Every structure is written in structure tokens, then in C-alpha cells.
Structure 1
Amino acid sequence: MTERPAVPGDSSFDNTPLEPALGGELPVQRPGWRRQLLVLLAVAGVLGILALARWLAAIPSLDIVLLPTVSGPPTVLSTSIPALEPMVGRAPIVLRNADGRELQVDEMLTERSPRWQVDDTMRAQLIARQEALAAVLEGREVFVEFRNGIEVPVPARPRGYGGLGLLFWPLAGLALAVALVGAFVVLARPQGRNLLYLTVVLCQAATLLIIAVGSMRGLGLPAGFATLEPIARMALDLATGAAVLHAFTLHPRPLPHRLVIAAAGWLPVLLLPALAHAGGLQQVWWWTQGTMLAQGAAALATISWSYRLEPNPFSAVLRRLGFIAVGAFALVTLGMAAAAGTPGPPGTIAAAGSLIWTLFLSSLLLLVPFLSRSRLALRELAMLAGIGTIAISLDLLFVAIFSLGQLTSLTLAVLLALGAYTVSRQWILNQTIGAEVLTTERSFEQLYRVARELQKQPARYSTLVAELLRDLFEPLEVLRLERDSPRASVVGGGAALIVPVRGARGGSRPLSLVLRFARRGQRLFSRDDARLAERVVEQLRRAVAYDQAVERGRNEERLRIAQDLHDDIGARLLTLMYQSPTPEMEDYIRHTLLDLKTLTRGLAAAEHRLSHAAAEWKADLTQRLTAAQVQLGWSVEYDRDVRLTVVQWSAITRVIRELVTNALYHGHATRVDVQVMLAGARLTLAVSDDGDGRDPQSWAHGLGMGGVRKRVKLLAGEVRWRENTPRGIVCEVLVPDFQAPEEDA
């Protein structure tokens, strides 16, 4: 993971979804006209569906629902025609109109989708049967002939809106919703890859409308529908695979040789439907399914290549969704192939398999633009559609391979699918969406650790916030933007999270952090992540504000104490000095006044520069040692002039004074050497003398040595005494991690 500033023209933002949010060149469209255009498209779509429904309602039909049987012709399951109600449960043999056109009734009339007929001969017969049925229904009256010569005349009437069936309106509504989502994506960001997404959703919307037309109640479809349906759906399915492959070459990043890969995906779309329409293509179903599986495999390879070039979490999620979609399609294909030619109910279930697969793919397409948002309903819809696809495919396999009864196979398939859904639901959601809930315990631990660091180093606010966000979300990259953002937001479809970081001090420059590729590129950022980041930053800001308020209170109290000492104790000492009976007492009180002056000056100042503090220490020691006729050796080295807090200044000042006092009054030294060195974060203090002290290990720990140890421990350091050469004592203080406040940015 790296952290670096985002600069204009940074190559990492070229052609990425982050450009608009981070000030790139792509324009952000105004919402007004987009909303109006989307409303107009929605109104146009509704009017188009109503026009289609009106046209279909005017087409003649027979309201007869046929029930396929394992052997023999289908029987009448239900009807709203009064003349045929006594014939429910019987099998019609022939349909005949007044013009002499007739059609033999068989199980092919119960199948509406030639596209999913595996055998070419069966497909041609099905198309011929449906076209012949449309021709028979063109007459004003249709005669339905049953066994034993029973013939029932039935008027051929328009099916009406009630004859459209229960599935027509939901499928048409879903088709409109899918198309509007594609239009919304393009209007929100008019880019080439979004036009490809629009192509995919329009193909699926058209497929749903075709399925809706084929799902109408009773017998009778528009003339020419059965002929055009397989070619149209074949072209739509192949175009879907080609557009997905093409989109993966552009998003989330453009790939090398993308034009060649895209051309290879679009070539079958141009060739196969034309050959199938001209009759020059045998095994049409196998060519279609095989080409789509090849397109799916190529798309998976392409998105995996994209992820290897750049571990974008969007690539990872698309790859997971792609594996699920291709796997489900392969399972449906296998089930359809196994059930090919099976008479009766299995054929009906096989026809339903294409509907369930289309619903599954449509739900995935609706989910893709909202991967980074909490759209639980869409995720559950995709899950249920996928489970339905698996259940139907297993049912077909059980019937075709194991020769199980229809009820047995269906029950077993549903139980297996529901069991798999129950056991693996959460795991599948985590793998497909890449969501991983951050535990409260983990978040609290990280927040507590950073809050403790902020108490010591409030100036490192932005750096510590970045470290906390790294620990929580594990991004591959953290960028710094010197601009403010109104709130935390997810950009790039979940590839990045922008978090405003307002400085701990009022004068800090505006700053936002951009976290790219959560969990090392394995998952997308979500709205929940944005809310969590905002709360974390707000809690840290409050912690800093609280610490600052406490520190202000401390400063005010120190100022009050310093003022009281100066005004009260200082005045009394000054009076005593003038009234002292001896020169020695006067000199002692004068030194006490100097010590008090140093103490009150330290209490009054919140922070001290190391250079200023060193000058005060030297001046104080020079005065004391000169009066005692003792030489002073002074050495101060530092690589940066840091600021010392009151605690640090007070501790070092008292340690130096105590050590020098010991050298004077206990060691009777004639020379004292003081060395102070700050190298990086390592602080070293050494006080040596040439006095009478020996064998420091045998010393009793009195108040002086105890005070030195206590103050050094307060600095998180260690202290040790040793004999000097040739005589005297050396005291060394080492603080390996001297935490001094940093300069304001």
C-alpha cells in the first residue's frame, strides 16, 4: 500500500471512473435535462408497451390451455370458451377453419420458443406448426375436433387484454426497467463502455419482450412471430456476449489489443444469424450455445487479465459475477441438451429454463451499476433467479439421465437448490459483491489506538487518520488531495472512497484522502464504508477537540499557578533577600529567586523550542557553577529544532538540575560536562563530573535518584549511572522514541 499526493495529469487517473470526482477532464452532466429526458424515455416506453399490448390483443386466438402428456396428444387443461368447457380433460385432434385449413394438435403447440429447440428438424416443425396455427385462426370460425367425431365450432375472436396472460405485464415491465437503467447509466456518464452496457441491457429487454409475447395465454401467436423469433433471439444473445466481452476490454481499464478482441467477439454476431436465416448453418442451437460459452470464457479471461494488470476490485467482482453467469448458462445448456426430445412435461420445463436464465441475467445487469450501494433487494433477486436456474437444470438432468419421475425429480431439484441457497447464501454474497462487514471490535480497537496516538501528537492528525483508514479498509493506495469534500463518498463504481479530513487545528489546509481498491483490490467500497469512514473521522475530530480543550484548561491553570508564584512567593522571597542577615543567605535567596523565575517561565509557556530551552539550561548552569567556582563543559547537537511540551521541558530541566546538584554537593566536583544530542527520534543526555563519587551500583535510592528515574520514565526512557574515568560519575539518559510535537503543515 502506498500513499502519495494526487497531482494533475496523474497517469493513474487516465480513463478511470475517478476523473469526474477528482477534477479530471470528463464533464459532470447537469441533472435537470437528464431527469427530464429519462422521464420522457419512461413515458415513451410505457406507451410503446401499451401499443404492443393493444396490437397483440387484436390478434385472433383460442383461449385453450393444453396440458402436455407423456404419451399421446395434449389434453384441454382449462378454457374460457363456454362451448369447450365440457371438453376439459379431453384431447383435441384437429383444428379446422371455414376455409378448409386444418392443423393436427400435438405437443408442439404447447412450446412457444423455437430458439431453445436443440434439434433443427424439431425447430422447423415447431415453426411450421405455429405459422399454420396463425393461418387457421385467420378464419372467422374454428372447428375443434375431438375423438369419436365430436366437433365443436368456436368463433375466432381477438384475445383482448385479458388474454395476454399473467406473465406478459411483469415481463414487459421488467424489460422497461432494464432498458431505463441502461439509459440512466448512459445519461449519467456518456462513455463508450456505458454505450456497450446499454447495448447489453437493450438486448435483454428485447429478449424479455419476445418471451412476454410467447407467454400469452391460449393458442395463437402473431403471424411470422415463430419464424423471426429464433433468429432474433439468437442475434440478441450473441450480441449480448459480444458487448460484454467488448466492455471488459475497456472497463475498468483499457487493455492492449482490445480492438482485436472486440472484433473476434462481434464477428459471430454478423455471421451466424445470417447463415441460419439463409439455411446454410446446421446444428444452429449448438452453434449458438457454443459461441456464447466461448464468448463467456473469453470475457472471463479478459477481465482476469485486466485484474492482473491492475488489481481493481471492480474487475474482481465482475470476474466473480462472470463465473457465476457462465456456470449457470453452461448448466442450463447441459440440462436443455439432456432433455432434448423428451416428450411431455420435461419439454415444458425446458422452455421455462430459458425464461429463468434470462431473468437471472437481467437481475445481474440491474445489479452491476449498484454494486457499491446497498441494494439488498437486487442481490436477493439475482440469488433467487440463479437458484431457480440451477433447480430447473437439475430437474432436467434428473429426468433425462436418471429416469426419475417428474414429481420426484422436481422435488429433489428444488430441495437441493434451496439447501445450497441456505448454506451458501452469505458466502456467495460476499464473493460476488466482495462485501466484508468490519467488526465493531476491530473498528473500536483501531480507533482507540489512533486516539491514544493523537493525545501525544495532535499535529499528526491527518497522518493518523490515513493510517486508521488503511487498517480498516486495507486499500492498495492512499492519495492526498488538497481540497475539501462535503462528505465521504464512493466513486468509480466502488473502486475508491473519498474521505474529507479536516485538520485538527483551525489553520490547517483542506485535505481529502482517496482510498483506492479496498482489501487489496478484492472488494468494492460501499455506502456503509462511507458512513463508517465519516463516523471514524468525526470521532477522531471530537477526540482532538476534547484534548485541545483539556490542554487549554491546563495552560490556563499553569498560567494561574505561575502568576500566583510570581506575585506571592516571588514577592516574599524578594523581601527576605533584602532583609537577609548575612551575604550567604542573600546569595542563597537570590539563586532561589532565579530558580523560581525559570519555573514560572516554563509553566507560562505551553511549548519550548529545543534551542531556546538549551540556552536557558546553559545560562542557569553557568550561573550556578560560576558561583561555586566549578567549570562547565557544554555540548548540544540536534538535527531538528523540535518543540518540547511542558512535560518534556520540565522533566529534562529537573533531571539536569538534580544531576548537577549531586555533582556539586555530593561529589564536590571541580568540573561538570553536559551533553545533549537529538538524532531523529533518539534523545541522549549525559552529565559527567570529576568528583568523589564511586561505585554507583551500591548507592541508596534516595529522593534525588528516585526523582531522576521517575522523570526519565515519564519520557519513556531509561537512566543509568557508571564510574567516570579517571574519577567521578557519569549519568546517561536515553529516550529512544522522543515524541516531540511536529510542525504545523
Structure 2
Amino acid sequence: MPRWLNTPITLPLTALALGLLMAAITVALTLGQPWMGLRLAASPEENAVVITAVAPTGPAAQAGAQPGAVLVALNGIALEADDLIEEPDMIESFDAFARFIARQDRLAQQLQGGGSILIALDEDEARALHPAPLRPLQTLPAAFWAQVLVGLFGFVAGSWVLGLRRSRAAAFLWLAGVGLLLSAHAAAIYSARELALPGAQFQMLSSLNHLGALGFGAGMIGLFLCYPVRLVPSRWQFLPGIALLIWWGANQLRLLPTPALGFQLPVALALAAIAVCVALQYRATRTDPRARAALRWLGLAVLIGAGAFVMTIIVPILLGFDAPLSQGFAFLFFLPIYAGLALGVARYRLFELEDWAFRILFYLAGMVMLLVLDASLIALIAMDRAPAFGLSLLAVSLLYLPLRDDIGRRLLRRRNDVSGQMFRAITDVALTPPDTSRIERWQALLTASFDPLRIEPMAETPPHVRLAEEGSVLEIPAVDTLPPQRLVWARGGRALYSLHDLARAEEMVTMLDQAAASRRAYEMGAAEERARIAQDMHDNIGIQLTGALHSGSAARKDALIRETLSDLRDIISNANRADLELEELLADLRATMGEHLSSVGIALDWKVVGAGPSRSEPRQAHALRSILREAVSNALRHSGASQVRVRVRISPDAVHVSVEDNGRGIGDAIPQPGGGNGLSNMRARANGMGGEVIITEIPGGGTRVEAVLPMASAGKAA
């Protein structure tokens, strides 16, 4: 066999070609019927056939037929409302069915005679009408095309799956598609007839319709007997199909009492069998979340699609009522089956199904309740259809819908919202020191939230929280110092992860990241505060104590110690005082440093020039005070100088400070960034404000410390 014949695309393409051929045959058989150019409707109350529309260029228009007229007879054959029955399965007995087929054959013979026919309108005289031999394509109703397309879609979709997966389950699905094709296309031909079809053709199409419907049921029962898991041995999987085939044969041989028992009953029983198989599969897949997700997807689609068709077409006829919906449009209910199939085979978001599956079933239950209640009121109370439907709708609205909402809230309740307890648990993880216990706490929190079958480490962190492997894995990225985690199977291995789980995990990760960021900010603030205190202790307290140590006056020593204690309180409390007068600050510094230097015999040359802002923020004042004190303290303790020269230049943008001494200088001992604590603190304070400190040796002896401290107002303007 050539390789191309064995590829997955071969069978779908072949099926598409056969399906299109079948559709073409269906269209050709429908168009091959003689055409009068009328759209007819039955009037059961008057047992009459009413003209609802006349084609402008059709034979009936030429004969003078008008919409609203009653078509009384055709070539002397009196017409009845039952002549326009869309689906002959509605007929109550086999004798009535035989009479219907015989009348269809007589009327079709009159239409196919090739000459003129006489039609009687109302009570007028008979009029001659010459039917066209072929029906125009544009006159085919929408219901016809709905049935043709549904049958074609079902057949091609089943073949597509069989081409992808050569398995027994796919073969059963293909059988269901073949049955849908036969049933829909056969029904399309006789339901789109203008008035009548030849009896033999009508009977054959009706038999094919029955065979296809039961074939669809046999395929779906067989499918759910072996998919997702095998419920019965292989040889028993064909038994439902054989039983339905025997039932079809008995119906064709008229061995059953009524047509309803011959066709509607086995179709209803087939749907019930499908529902039972889906329930058994649901129980059998309780330990396989992936198989259960696929079952939910396909099983729900089949129950909704086939169930809606059976409840709107088959069950009303079985109970003796008229179908509330045209059979042609009811075939559209089968589309969700194959739409769900396509999505299921593509494994597209199977994990999203759980929530809206319940919601769809709730709405389906409401529809069934509405139909049952409506039928019960008509049958038991003999109420007219319109009041019965209105009363049923009111009862469902007032009783079922509130109950549905309450049940939905209970069944679909999610632990989506992060509670106060969850917030505290996340905060505990964030505040735990980065060690093994922190990882254990995070994993314990994930376990409490999702109950995974196991948690595995990941070599690489994902970019964000995400679902993987068809929803069986939830990947958690690294957060702060916590490594990425891989959560395998939810609820102890009984379920896939849902979009609710994904949203919950994203919220947990976001909260943990924010809490960890807050902890880092707190730790950084604490470290900065400790550094500030260390700087202030060195810069301010050190020079104050040095001055007290060198002071020869007891009163002065006591005053310096009191100032030191006051500065110490300021350092500890970091008081957020109001802006200081710059002139007052510099005068205070001059007085303090002059006393310290004079106590050891060092002269102070102090000069302030320039003009700028009159006030200084506490941070800038503190930095200015610390830098001047540290520079003077170094000159006092290390330089052996006899004079210290201080120059302060104030500009609108910054305060420029220069401190020089005439001592021995520092030579190679000029500190670099990160060096000695005092001079390094000066640099750190200036850099923290966007300024700088430069330390140089003066040629001929001495040291110069220059600092630039930007004004706070300049920084804000920038």
C-alpha cells in the first residue's frame, strides 16, 4: 500500500469526498421533485392545507394562486393536513402510516405525470397548473441545509478521529457519524418536500432515517463502553448495536404494536443507556483525572446534544404530543457533540470544564423540567398549549431557578478568595528566615491549598504560574529565596488543576512576593538605621566626648557631656524636627568647634560667604554638622596643627565646605571609599544627599577636606 494511503489525513479526506458526494445526492434527489412554486402549511384544526407563500415566477403564480388560500384538492384528490407531516414517525399506527404512504404515492404520481394538473383553491373552480420538472436550488429551506451540514460534519469529524487514532473507541465514534449522516440526509429529503414523494422512496428514506438514528445510538453506547476506560469485555461492546439492529428489523417487518415502540422507544432507551455508561465511566475514572476530564468533555457534549434532540423530538412523540420544534433544526443539537469532540481530541482546556459542566447541566435540567411540566398540564388537566407553557415557565422561574442557584453555589464553591488565615500563613512564610524551614512552610501552604499528590523541585523557574501537561501539573515560579515548585495532580491525585486553581496560585505568589518585598524593605531600613546611628555616634558623640576629655574646666566638661546626651537622644529618636535656620546652625557650629579647638591651643579661622536659602532641612543640617565635626575632630586628634581654617560658601544649589589645617598632613594615609570609619562616614553622608567629599594633602603640610552638600530644594527641582 502506498505510504500516502496510510497517513492520518487520508481517511478524513476520503470521508470528506464521500460526504460531499452524499450531500450532492441528497440535494439532487430533493431538486429532482416536481415543483409547483408553493410554500404550504398544515392547518390541523381545519384539516386543510394552506398556501403561505407563492414563488413570483413559479407555476402556481401563473395559475393565479395567492398566499392565504386553501389548497383543497389536486387532480380531484382532496388534500389533508396530515399530507404535510414533516416526520412520519409521528403517525400513531402502522395502518395510518400505510395510508399516509399510499396518499403520498398517489399525489406524487399526479405531480410527476408530466402534464398539467388541476388544483382547487378554496371553493373556486379548479385551475390548471403545470409543475416544473425540477425544483430551483434557492427554494430549499434552511432546515434542509441544517440537516445536510450536520450529517456531513458528524461523518467527517468521526472519520478525522479515526484517522488520528485507529482504536475501537474511534471506530465506534465513526459508526455514530455514519449513522448521523444517514439519518440527517434521509430526513432532509422527505422533510423538505413541497407536498409529496413517491411511496417507495419515502418508505426507504424513513427506514434509512431509523437505521441511522439507531446506528448513532449504537456507536455512542459502544464508545462509552470502552472510552475512556473499558467497562465490559470487548465482545460485549457490540451487543447494544446488535440489539438495536434487531429492533430496527422488527420495526421494518411491523412486528411491534406501534411505530412509537418501533422507533421512538429504542432511541430513548439508547439515550438512557448512554447516560448510564457515562455515569459508570465517571465512577471508573475517579482515580484518573485526565481520563475523567476527557469524559466530562465528551460525555457532557453527547448528553446535551443527543439529549436535547430526544427531549424535543422523540419523547413528545412517544408520549403522544406534537414536537415543539422542527426536526430539521433539532438536528443542530448534534453540533455540540462534535464541537466538544474536536476540542477534546485537541485536548484544549479540558481542565476548564468542571465548573460550566455543572451550569450547563443545571440549564438542561431546567429545560427538561419545563417540557415535562408543560406536557403534564396538557395531558392531565387538558389545558391549552399556550397557557400550559406560560404556567410551566412561571413555575420553573419561581421554583427551579432559585434552587439551581443555591445548589450551584454549594457545588461550585471554591476556595478562591484568600482568607485572613491564608494571609497570615503567607506572611509567616515571608517573615521566616531563608532556610530549610521556610521552604517547608511554603510547601505546607501549597499542600493545604491544592492537596497535590506530590510536590517536585524544578531545575528552572517558569516565568509565571502556569498549568502544564494538560492541567495535571501546576508550576509555581521562584519567589524571593524560595525555589520553584511543581505540583503534580490536584486533590490527592483525583483531579486536574483548574483555572480557579491557577488564579488562586497567582494570587498567593503575588501576595508572597509583596510580603517578601516588604520584609526586605524593613530589613534594609533597619540596616540603614543602624548605619545612621553608627555614623552619628562616631561623628557627633565622638567629637563631643573628645572635647569634654580635653576641657580643663569642670563646668565646660559638664556642659559638653549634657550636649552629648542631648545629641545621643536625637540620634536614637532621629527626631523629625522642622527646618533649621542655616545662619543659626553655622553660628552654633562655629562656637562649638572654636571651644573645642581653643581648649587644646588650636586657632580657628572661620568665614561664611555667599547667599542662598535661609533654612536647611534636618537631614542636610545633620550631614553638615557631622562632616564639619568629623573634619575638625581629625585635625584636633591627628594633625598636630596650630590652626584650622574653615570656609563655608552658600549658593542657591549647594553648601560648599572646606576645612584645612596646617599640620603634618596625612600622606599615603588618605582614606579611600570603604576605608576608615570616620572619613568614610563623611563620604557616605555626602553621597547619600547627592554630594561628594574630597580629601587632599596641602603641599608644604596640612590636609584639606572639601564637601559639597546640595540643597534639598535643588534636588526636588531637579
- Please, what TM-score do these two structures have when normalized by structure 2? 0.57
Aligned partner of 1:113 in structure 2 is 87
**Quick check: 2:468–2:475 contact (8 Å CA) kept in 1?**
no
Aligned partner of 1:79 in structure 2 is 54
Aligned mate of 1:335, from 287, 293, 316: 316
Q: Tell me whether 1:94 sits opposite 2:73 in the alignment.
A: yes
Structure 1 unaligned segments of length 5 or more: list them.
Answer: 1-32, 97-101, 340-345, 570-745
Distance 1:178 1:325, change over 3 A: closer
Distance 1:427 1:178 in 2: 37
Aligned partner of 1:241 in structure 2 is 217
Aligned partner of 1:166 in structure 2 is 142
TM-superposed deviation, 1:179: 5.3
Distance 1:384 1:186, change over 3 A: farther
Report the AA paired with residue 227 of structure 1.
Q
RMSD of aligned alpha carbons = 5.3
Report the AA paired with residue 152 of structure 1.
R
TM-superposed deviation, 1:470: 4.8
Distance 1:129 1:530, change over 3 A: farther
**Quick check: 1:60–1:220 contact (8 Å CA) kept in 2?**
no
Q: Tell me whether 1:408 sits opposite 2:383 in the alignment.
A: no
Aligned partner of 2:339 in structure 1 is 366
Distance 2:279 2:392 in 1: 32
Distance 1:326 1:430 in 2: 28
**Quick check: 1:475–1:517 contact (8 Å CA) kept in 2?**
yes
Aligned mate of 2:473, from 498, 505, 511: 498
TM-superposed deviation, 1:60: 2.2
- Please, what TM-score do these two structures have when normalized by structure 1? 0.55
Distance 1:108 1:84, change over 3 A: farther
Structure 2 unaligned segments of length 5 or more: list them.
Answer: 1-6, 542-718
Q: Tell me whether 1:530 sits opposite 2:502 in the alignment.
A: yes
Aligned mate of 2:203, from 223, 227, 245: 227
Q: Secondary structure at the match of 2:194?
A: coil
Higher mean Cα deviation, 246-255 or 548-557?
A: 548-557
TM-superposed deviation, 1:243: 2.8
Q: Secondary structure at the match of 2:325?
A: helix
Distance 1:208 1:355 in 2: 8
Q: Secondary structure at the match of 1:139?
A: coil
**Quick check: 1:207–1:233 contact (8 Å CA) kept in 2?**
yes
Higher mean Cα deviation, 241-250 or 548-557?
A: 548-557
Q: Secondary structure at the match of 2:102?
A: helix
Distance 1:383 1:222, change over 3 A: farther
Aligned mate of 2:33, from 59, 72, 76: 59
TM-superposed deviation, 1:540: 3.6
Distance 2:64 2:539 in 1: 114
TM-superposed deviation, 1:65: 0.9
Distance 1:511 1:317 in 2: 29
**Quick check: 2:268–2:315 contact (8 Å CA) kept in 1?**
no
Cα deviations across residues 453-491 of structure 1 (Å, max 9, x unaligned)?
24316556765555545554x557446475666776667
Distance 1:74 1:390, change over 3 A: farther
**Quick check: 1:244–1:299 contact (8 Å CA) kept in 2?**
yes
Question: Where do 1:189-268 residues align within 5 Å?
Answer: 192-201=168-177, 203-204=179-180, 206-216=182-192, 218-221=194-197, 225-255=201-231, 257-259=232-234, 261-268=236-243
Report the AA paired with residue 251 of structure 1.
Y
Question: Where do 1:259-338 residues align within 5 Å?
Answer: 259=234, 261-311=236-286, 312=289, 314=293, 329=310, 333-338=314-319
Distance 1:528 1:84 in 2: 67
Aligned partner of 2:681 in structure 1 is none
TM-superposed deviation, 1:122: 2.8
Cα deviations across residues 293-313 of structure 1 (Å, max 9, x unaligned)?
444444444444444444255
**Quick check: 2:91–2:259 contact (8 Å CA) kept in 1?**
no
Cα deviations across residues 384-423 of structure 1 (Å, max 9, x unaligned)?
7876666556555444443223443444455556667754
Distance 1:46 1:127, change over 3 A: same
Report the AA paired with residue 339 of structure 2.
L
Q: Secondary structure at the match of 1:64?
A: strand
Distance 1:445 1:175, change over 3 A: farther
Identity rate, percent: 18
Aligned partner of 2:621 in structure 1 is none
Question: Where do 1:658-673 residues align within 5 Å?
Answer: none
Distance 2:35 2:265 in 1: 36
Distance 1:49 1:164 in 2: 13
Aligned mate of 2:487, from 488, 499, 513: 513
Aligned partner of 2:688 in structure 1 is none
Distance 2:61 2:537 in 1: 111
Distance 1:123 1:405, change over 3 A: same
Q: Secondary structure at the match of 1:512?
A: strand
Aligned mate of 1:145, from 120, 123, 127: 120
Aligned partner of 1:136 in structure 2 is 110
Distance 1:326 1:405 in 2: 28
TM-superposed deviation, 1:335: 2.9
Higher mean Cα deviation, 170-179 or 60-69?
A: 170-179
Of structures 1 and 2, the one with the larger relative CO (CA 8 A, separation 6+) is: 1
Distance 1:154 1:117 in 2: 31
Q: Secondary structure at the match of 2:48?
A: coil
Aligned mate of 1:125, from 86, 96, 99: 99
TM-superposed deviation, 1:290: 3.6
Distance 1:365 1:383 in 2: 21
Distance 1:410 1:61, change over 3 A: farther
Cα deviations across residues 303-361 of structure 1 (Å, max 9, x unaligned)?
4444444425546787778887898646865532332xxxxxx6xx4273756764445
Aligned partner of 2:325 in structure 1 is 352
**Quick check: 1:95–1:105 contact (8 Å CA) kept in 2?**
yes
Q: Tell me whether 1:449 sits opposite 2:446 in the alignment.
A: no
